[in-house]
Chains A and B, each alone.
Chain A
Amino acid sequence: MRRRTSLAMSAGGVIGALLLGVGCGGSDSEASGPPGILYTGGTSGFLPVGTGGRAGTAGGGTGGTLPPEAELEGSFEAPIVTGKYLWSANPQSGRVALVDAETLRVTTVESGFGPRYLAAIPTADPEDAATIVLNELGEDATLLTLVDGVIAEPVRFSTHAQANSLAVSPSGRWVVAWSDWREFNHLDPTDSFQDLTLILVTPSSGDPCATRRVAGYRPSSVTFDADEQNLLVVSEHGVTVIDLTDEANPEVRALVEVAAGGLADAAARDVVVTPDGSHAIVRHDDSNVLGFVDLATAVITDVTLDGRVTDLDVADEGATAVAVMRGIGQVAVLDLPEAITDPEHIHTTSLPRSFGSVSLAPDASVGVLYTNAEPTTVVAKLSLSDDETFLDVETEDLRAPVRAVLVAPDAEHAVALLDPPSGSVKAGAFSIIPTFAPRGPKIVGTDAPAMAVAIAPAPSTEALVTTRDDVTRTYGVHVIALPSLQEDYLPLVSPPLAVGLIPELGKGFVAQEHPEGRITFIDFPTNLPSGSAATPTARTLTGFELAARVTYPADN
């Protein structure tokens, strides 16, 4: 199960780069693609995800003989966007390149020893930009800020060892460096990864500073509550609540157990924290019980549904959760927090066929049901609107097995990544599904497996789908105009690494693998959403750091 990715991670810039389900754990649920590697997309830094390495945190139950549904994870090695700027780290040179997406001018700055992970930090002035960089080998983090077009002196913070993930509070005031155990290949039972480094970026007084705290065994997620009063760390121990009200001395206020079994069933459960930080919702494999944990009182309230829950999704607005019960072909919509105590706020409907996963629109107006545990070409649109269409289900046949579905931020469309159907000569496919308009989905066959998706923030007028095949060395990006569904293909020279959009410039970008750094910027022609005859044009920038190696006359 998943909660919507914090949009604060890509502050001011590309918002709406959404996540895809990717195979992990059970092999049957894995999508076909480059051997051994499955890719997820998004501008918030989502990278290739290794298969089979995430046991215990994958979503999905084990209904019948079907494997679990696929979940996705992210990392922070890909470039990130702040406003009109892209930040890209080069671990080898120790520099971070700042690319102005409007002029393609590149500025590089020394970050530290082995900069690798980045996260965007929101700034008050949209013309400014800021990012935090984790220097993996130096075991520290660097705060880089661009103010009035000039990069300020970097600020360095020591971190704990093996930090590989970053969480940024909605306002950008706090950044937490933590260690996601799922990124490591060989684990010892004593590898607990419990350390956290809390970086106060904008203190009320004094200079930015960092403090170290400890959470439970092997954290799996780090989030802030809506008013940034508490930091919530989900781990196998439970949920560690860290009080941030005293910025000089954040206090570990509580470790809330999320299940009666404590650590015993940690591998078989999934925990997500509600956006307001009030509750943690626990789903257990092979169980029809959802545990709602009040993080303030530690009281656990079990809510029993009619069937085993294979997927649970909580909308960004925090007031709606959708639980999919594949085994009995039903879906339950829970009004939060009322559903915890009042069954009247649990709305259940039967589905015309078996689905195991759901992807929700951020405003919870619609959800798209699908399954990737077995090859299924059909998806279902579930209306969640507060009107007479509530819980209406409409199926669509996408003609190809579904691997993952992403709903656009404006909820008007969804993008589904597909596997090539039997008998197809194509290597992959994807589909654009109108969720409300009375139109059928557009299905596009691709010459390489579709790997990543980025959709513009509301109103979502463009979407990008990258394709990648390392065997045939076929790389490209499909540009989709919404709502016209015009689709154009642009080939790429290098394997795509990350994809995103820069709405304020009317551009998209695809970062690619290249030792010198490579990004292709895509200009969307005017009127593209309504079906412009003009095709998008691309401009590729390669060699970020070469600009730093140009030496001008003395005193220039």
Chain B
Amino acid sequence: MRHGTFLFCAGVLALGCGDRSSAWDADYESVSAGGPPTQGLSGSVAVRDDALDRLVMITSPGGRDLTTKALPVGKGIVYWQTDAKRERLFVLSEGVQPRRERDDEKPSLTVIDGGGWREVDGRAEFHEPSILARYELDDPPNPVLYLDPEGEYAVVTVGGGVVENPNELLLVNLPEDGDDEPTIEAKTIRSFGSSPQAISFTKRLRFPDGIGRRMMIVQTEQEVALIDPENLDTEITVRLSEPLNGVNMSSPVEVAVHDNQRSQFDPDDGERFPIIAIRLRNRSTVPLLSFEAAPSEAEAGVETTGVDFLVTVNIAEVGSVPSDIDFFWTEVDAAPALRLAALLPNRSEVALVNPDANYTDYVALGAAYDHMTRVTDDVAVQPLNSDVALLTGQSVYSVAFWELGSTGTRSYRSLETHSIGIPINQIIPITQDASAPDGEDYGHLKLLRGVTASEFYVLDLNQRQSAPMLTTGTSGANITPAPDGQRAWVSVANEEEIASVRFSDLHPTTLVLERPVAAVYDIAQPETTHGSPSRVAIALHIEGASLGATVLDARAPDTADTRFYGGILLGGIR
């Protein structure tokens, strides 16, 4: 289908007489792989236009106005993803395959600043969406990208040839704000017969050699590797199993890291170093990695290389295969004590492991909770020495608030359960908006939803209340919190109705638009003349080759106050 459209809007099309862009002849390509056709960022909406190897970035200068800007990305988008802050986009492209001519495009990674209105030094400034960097790759990338939540690194893997090295990683060192040139380094990790399955990054941790470093944690089928992204030669591999006599491999499925630091600790009581726990597939044992100073050959004047510390491995027995693990602070003898919690849905218990003593205590939960989320920072009243966790389960019709604590050396728990109508398999956090006026910060709310439920719940962590929100007859609704943390948008694919749920009073507003909605995005606008923040909601309509948008006031949506735009993918084509 050609890029024709029967929806016109003034100012969208401009044709040079006698100089017609070849883009007009390009067939529209529906997005079938490599991610969704659209992505929402904090200040813009990105739309894929694979036929023209570009992204169309939509921003709003104010009111109900939209502007678009096309950004070229490489040919053949393989995968794209936003970062945790939703300010950057990462696009992997395979280029021209196979390359026959010297100037055939090579595979690439494009890093895009989503732009839009952002608060800088208390003032709203508009940033044009722009390309921050583009890296050429030697080989086509795999459709997966590992992003550092702190925005410093990204990891790309390549493959697709006759021979593929799955242990070869490309570490992209991302610049802050585009000031520096980003760099890319190749690293083949040490392998004992396996390949990476997941990659994550720690925050900066202090190690016994006195060096604070971040670690990239690479999980393979049977090992966990700790690699310093600032010095890729610093690679420590922990083999979790040694197949003997038919013993099955121990495969890591989850890694929990804790810095083991707390402000109450007295440095004179001894140094504390990070602890890492590894959950294994189908195993009731959890290896614990701790770090200690190496024997002091260096003190004897012997030059040392590599890392100057040892990794100690100790196996904790938790009694049953855990579904989730994480570190939590408990209180022992009126002081904070770190424990590894392992949820045991088979036993309706949680195991609390003292990582120093490797002693396990069991706490009955009364239900088969299988997921836990630390919510200590989200509640108004925070215990002094212990954490608060939210427990949910895919087969449990309740949620539980678990306030960890202890009496002497035995743990007790303050467990408060709330019945809800659906088993939960997803917890959607609400952005904590530090700039929100007092009483308008809803970071203490969580949206809880099940897999096929026709309702979701708004959970208030402070009040310990859960409010059901019924999405009658729409079990597959998309629920998207707004980046400013003030509302959530609910839409159902190809339906004309959308809803906004205001967190201040949980009032839902249903809006019936003129066309089926593919997605709803909430982006920032410049402040109003009164100085109050402004946001706009953009409902996208995708009908075959046509992309349109309905623009509404996000804070006070009213179908009587909208503007419709059609032919958005024609934007920029001349």
Interface, chain A (partner B; CB < 8 A): 92-93, 103-106, 149, 493-494, 515-516, 518, 537-543, 545-547, 549-556
Contacts and interface: CB of A to CB of B under 8 A. Distances in A.
Interface string B494-526: 000000000000000000000000000000000
Given A538-B357, A545-B242, A553 B287 contact: no
A277 B305 CA distance: 56
Given A539-B359, A556-B307, 18 more contacts: A494-B317, A516-B285, A518-B315, A537-B357, A540-B357, A540-B358, A542-B285, A542-B316, A542-B317, A542-B358, A547-B311, A550-B239, A551-B237, A551-B238, A552-B306, A552-B311, A553-B306, A556-B306
Contacts of B357: 537-540
Contact of A550 (B238, B247, B285, B316): B238
B312 A554 contact: no
Given A539-B356, A550-B238, A105 B310 contact: yes
B306 A550 contact: no
Contacts of A556: 304-307
Nearest to A546: B313
Given A493-B317, A542-B316, A552-B306, A92 B236 contact: no
Contacts of B310: 105, 550
Ranked nearest first, the 8 interchain pairs of A and B with the lowest CB-CB distance are: A556-B306, A546-B313, A549-B239, A542-B315, A540-B358, A553-B306, A543-B315, A551-B237
A547 B233 CA distance: 20
B318 to A, nearest CB: 10
B264 interface: no
Given A537-B357, A541-B358, A556-B306, A549 B312 contact: no
Nearest to B227: A553
> Which residue among B245, B304, B317 has the maximum number of chain A CB atoms within 10 Å of its CB?
B317
Contacts of B240: 546, 549
Given A547-B313, A551-B236, A493 B360 contact: yes
Size range of the chain B interface in the assembly: 20 to 34
B190 interface: yes
Given A93-B244, A553-B307, A556-B306, A542 B314 contact: yes
A496 to B, nearest CB: 15
Contacts of B358: 539-542
Interface string B76-111: 000000000000000000000000000000000000
A170 to B, nearest CB: 33
B406 to A, nearest CB: 15
Given A93-B244, A553-B307, A555-B306, A546 B359 contact: no
> Which residue among B244, B245, B314, B356 has the maximum number of chain A CB atoms within 10 Å of its CB?
B314
A33 to B, nearest CB: 24
Contacts of B235: 553
A494 B284 CA distance: 13
B190 A149 contact: no
Contact of A538 (B237, B238, B287, B359): B359
7 contacts: A149-B295, A493-B360, A494-B317, A543-B314, A546-B239, A553-B235, A553-B307
A546 B287 contact: yes
A555 B305 contact: yes
Contacts of B312: 104-106, 547
Contact of B307 (A92, A549, A552): A552
A181 to B, nearest CB: 28
A518 B315 CA distance: 9
> Which residue among A546, A554, A555 has the maximum number of chain B CB atoms within 10 Å of its CB?
A546
Interface in B228-271: 233-240, 242, 244-245, 247
Contacts of A546: 238-240, 287, 313, 315
A554 to B, nearest CB: 7
A105 B357 CA distance: 14
A550 B311 CA distance: 7
> Which residue among A105, A518, A550 has the maximum number of chain B CB atoms within 10 Å of its CB?
A550
A320 B567 CA distance: 109
Nearest to A515: B247
A161 B472 CA distance: 79
Contacts of B247: 515
A543 B313 contact: yes
B542 to A, nearest CB: 51
Contacts of A554: 233, 306
Nearest to B225: A551
Contacts of B314: 540-543
B316 A551 contact: no
Given A539-B356, A541-B358, A553 B236 contact: yes
